[in-house]
Structure 1
Amino acid sequence: MTTTVGIIGGGQLARMTHQAAIALGVQVVALDEDPGAPAVVAGAAHLSGRPDRLDDLLALAARSDVVTVDHERTPAALLAALVERGHRVAPGPGAARLGQDKAAARTVLGARGVPVAPWALVGDPGAIARFGDGHGWPLVLKAPTGGYDGRGVWVADDLAAASAALARADGPLLVEPRLPFGHELAVVVVRSWSGEVHAYPPVETVQRDGQCHEVLLPAGVPVAVATQARQLAVRIAEAAELVGVMAVELFVVDDELLLNELAVRPHNSAHLTIEACATSQFENHLRAVLDLPLGATDPIVPAACMRNVLGAPDGSDPFVGLHRALAVPGVHVHRYGKDPRPRRKVGHVTATGADLAEARALAARAADALGPSPAAAA
Structure 2
Amino acid sequence: MVGGGQLARMMAPAATALGVHLRVLVENPSSSAAQVVVDAPVGSASDEAAITALVDGADALTFEHEHVPNLLLDRLESAGVAVHPDASALVHAQDKIVMRTRLTELGIPVPSWAVLPSAAELGTFLADHGGVAVVKTARGGYDGKGVRVVRSPEDVADWFTAAADGTGAPLLAEEKVPFTRELAVLVGRRPSGETRTWPVVESVQRDGVCAQVVAPAPDLDPATREQAVEVAVRIATGLGVTGVLAVELFEVADDAGGPPRVLVNELAMRPHNSGHWTIDGAVTSQFEQHLRAVLDLPLGETAARSRWTVMANVLGSSLPDPTDALADVARLDPAAKVHLYGKEVRAGRKLGHVNVSGDDLDDVRRRAIAAAALLQGEASA
Shared fold per TM-score greater than 0.5: yes
Query: Is 1:274 aligned to 2:311, yes or no?
Result: no
The residue identity in structure 2 corresponding to 1:222 is D
For each residue in 1:332-369, what CA deviation from the matched residue of structure 2 results, as whole angstroms up to 9, or x when unmatched? 00011111122221111111121322211110111122
Identity of aligned residues (%): 43
1:311 CA displacement: 2.3
Please name the residue that 1:309 is paired with.
Answer: 314
- Which of 139, 142, 154 aligns to 1:148? It is 142
- Partners of 1:359 and 1:81 lie apart in 2 by 48
- Which of 321, 327, 334 aligns to 2:325? It is 321
1:19 CA displacement: 1.1
Tell me the secondary structure at the aligned position of residue 230 of structure 1: helix
Tell me the secondary structure at the aligned position of residue 115 of structure 1: coil
Q: How many residues align?
A: 368
- Which of 347, 350, 354 aligns to 1:345? It is 350
- Assess if the C-alpha contact under 8 Å between 1:18 and 1:44 holds in 2: no
The residue identity in structure 2 corresponding to 1:215 is V
How do 1:1-378 residues align onto structure 2 when only pairs under 5 Å count? 7-163=1-157, 166-167=160-161, 170-220=168-218, 221-254=220-253, 255-312=260-317, 316-327=320-331, 328-372=333-377
Moved more, 36-45 or 61-70: 36-45
Tell me the secondary structure at the aligned position of residue 29 of structure 2: coil
Moved more, 164-173 or 8-17: 164-173
- Assess if the C-alpha contact under 8 Å between 2:316 and 2:376 holds in 1: no
The residue identity in structure 1 corresponding to 2:244 is V
1:75 CA displacement: 2.1
Tell me the secondary structure at the aligned position of residue 96 of structure 1: helix
- Partners of 2:365 and 2:353 lie apart in 1 by 13
Could you say what the CA RMSD is over the residues aligned between the two structures, in angstroms? 1.8
The residue identity in structure 1 corresponding to 2:93 is G
- Assess if the C-alpha contact under 8 Å between 2:309 and 2:357 holds in 1: yes
Tell me the secondary structure at the aligned position of residue 127 of structure 2: helix
Tell me the secondary structure at the aligned position of residue 199 of structure 2: coil
The residue identity in structure 2 corresponding to 1:92 is D
- Assess if the C-alpha contact under 8 Å between 1:277 and 1:298 holds in 2: yes
Please name the residue that 1:4 is paired with.
Answer: none
For each residue in 1:31-81, what CA deviation from the matched residue of structure 2 results, as whole angstroms up to 9, or x when unmatched? 123112222211331112110122211111114111100111102222122
1:329 CA displacement: 4.2
- Assess if the C-alpha contact under 8 Å between 2:23 and 2:37 holds in 1: no
- Assess if the C-alpha contact under 8 Å between 2:185 and 2:200 holds in 1: yes
Tell me the secondary structure at the aligned position of residue 372 of structure 2: helix
Change beyond 3 A, Cα 1:124–1:367 = same
Q: Taking structure 1 as the reference length, what is the TM-score of the superposition?
A: 0.93
- Partners of 1:225 and 1:271 lie apart in 2 by 23
- Assess if the C-alpha contact under 8 Å between 2:251 and 2:263 holds in 1: yes
1:165 CA displacement: 5.2
- Assess if the C-alpha contact under 8 Å between 2:319 and 2:377 holds in 1: no
Change beyond 3 A, Cα 1:46–1:138 = same
- Partners of 2:151 and 2:139 lie apart in 1 by 23
The residue identity in structure 2 corresponding to 1:318 is P
Unmatched runs of 5 consecutive residues or more in structure 2: 254-259
- Partners of 1:217 and 1:85 lie apart in 2 by 41
- Partners of 1:89 and 1:307 lie apart in 2 by 32
- Partners of 2:41 and 2:279 lie apart in 1 by 27
Tell me the secondary structure at the aligned position of residue 311 of structure 2: strand
For each residue in 1:158-191, what CA deviation from the matched residue of structure 2 results, as whole angstroms up to 9, or x when unmatched? 3432445544662431111111001111111000
- Partners of 2:169 and 2:250 lie apart in 1 by 26
For each residue in 1:2-38, what CA deviation from the matched residue of structure 2 results, as whole angstroms up to 9, or x when unmatched? xxxxx00121111111110101001101112311222
For each residue in 1:205-250, what CA deviation from the matched residue of structure 2 results, as whole angstroms up to 9, or x when unmatched? 1111111111111113212211211111111101111110010111
1:156 CA displacement: 1.1
